[in-house]
Amino acid sequence: MTFPISELHVYPIKSLGNIALNTAQLSETGIVYDRYWMLVDKDGRFITQRNIPRLTLFNLRFSENGIVVKHQESELEIAYDLEGSEKLQTAVFGTEVHGLKEPNRVNQWFSEQLNKEVTLIRASKVQPRFVKNHPDTKVNFSDSSQYLFLGTESMQHLNEKLTSPITINRFRANVIFEGGLPHAEDEWRCIQIGNSTFEYVKLCGRCKVTTIDPNTAEMGKEPLRTLATYRAIGKNVCFGSYWKLVESNDNTIRLGDEIKVLA
C-alpha cells in the first residue's frame, strides 16, 4: 500500500506562516529554507507563538530575491543572501544554536509590527545544530527534527471527536499524506518517496501552539484537551511523526508522489 502526498509546506521563519509548495527541495536540514530564520527578543531568547500568538498572522511568500513577509498592510523582503555577519548565540529548548543577525531595517520592521524589540537571525552554516540522539542529523531552528509528517486520516479521526472541527494547518506539518488508518505514521520506520529515503526519528509531542486559530490568533483549549484523552504517550500528547532524510538521488519530492513503506 502506498500513501499519496496531498500537501507540502515550508515554514521559513519559525512560528510564522507557511508557504505551500508543489515541489519541495530537500536538504540535510529539512526542506530548503524550513525554519531557516527565527526571532529572538532583546535578551536573546527565541520567540514563538507560545508567547506571541499573533505571529501566526504573518504571511510569507517566495520572491525572486528573497522571502516576502506581510503583516496587515505592511510588507518586508528578506534577501536570500545575508546582508550582515554579526553573530548571535541562543538556545532552542536547551540546545545551543548559532545564528547571524539580519540588518537593522529587518529588525526594525519586525519590532514595529510586534511593538516589541526583536531581532531576526538566520541559521549559521558554519556552526550547525544537530538533533538530540541523532548526532549525524542537522536542523535549522525547528523544535526537533528535519521533517514532520501527518496523515489526513489522523486529522479526520481527531475531528470526529471534536465538537468544532479544526483544520490540519494547526499542526504545521511539512508533508501531509492520504490513506491508511489513523496514525499509520506512528508505525513506519523507513519510507521511500520517489528517489528519497527517510528514517523515523520520533513522535511529535504537541504544545499549546495547536490551540491557536491560525486565521485569528485566538487561543482555546482544543485540540489538546481532546488529544490528551487518547494520544497521551508518556509525558507528551503526540500527533504526527518526525523523520530524517538518509539518502536522495535528486533531493526533490512533489505533490502526488507516493510514500512507500519499507519497514
| Predicted local distance difference test score (pLDDT) of residue 61 | 98
> Which of 138-142, 169-173, 250-254 shows the lowest mean pLDDT across its residues?
138-142
| Predicted local distance difference test score (pLDDT) of residue 44 | 92
**Sequence-ordered list of residues with C-beta below 8 angstroms from that of 161, at least 6 positions apart, any chain:** 226, 229, 230
Q: What is the DSSP letter of 156?
A: H
Q: What is the DSSP letter of 28?
A: B
| Predicted local distance difference test score (pLDDT) of residue 23 | 98
| Predicted local distance difference test score (pLDDT) of residue 137 | 82
Query: Average per-residue pLDDT in the chain?
Result: 95
Give the confidence band of 120 by pLDDT, cuts at 50, 70, 90: very high
CA dist 142 and 103 (Å) reads 22
| Predicted local distance difference test score (pLDDT) of residue 134 | 72
Q: 250 vs 12, 253, 255, CA distance in Å?
A: 21, 9, 15
Give the confidence band of 26 by pLDDT, cuts at 50, 70, 90: very high
CA dist 170 and 128 (Å) reads 28
Tell me: the pLDDT tens digits for 66-112? 999 999 999 999 999 986 678 989 888 878 889 999 999 999 999 99
| Predicted local distance difference test score (pLDDT) of residue 131 | 72
Give the confidence band of 174 by pLDDT, cuts at 50, 70, 90: very high
| Predicted local distance difference test score (pLDDT) of residue 96 | 85
Tell me: the pLDDT tens digits for 43-66? 999 999 999 999 999 999 999 999
- Domain range spanning residue 119? 2-261
Distance, C-alpha 262 to centroid of its chain: 25
Please count the structural domains in the chain.
Answer: 1
Q: Is the per-residue pLDDT at 215 higher than 90?
A: yes
Which residue's entry shows cell 510569507?
A: 60
Q: Is the pTM of this model over 0.85?
A: yes
Q: Is the per-residue pLDDT at 171 higher than 90?
A: yes
Give the confidence band of 130 by pLDDT, cuts at 50, 70, 90: confident
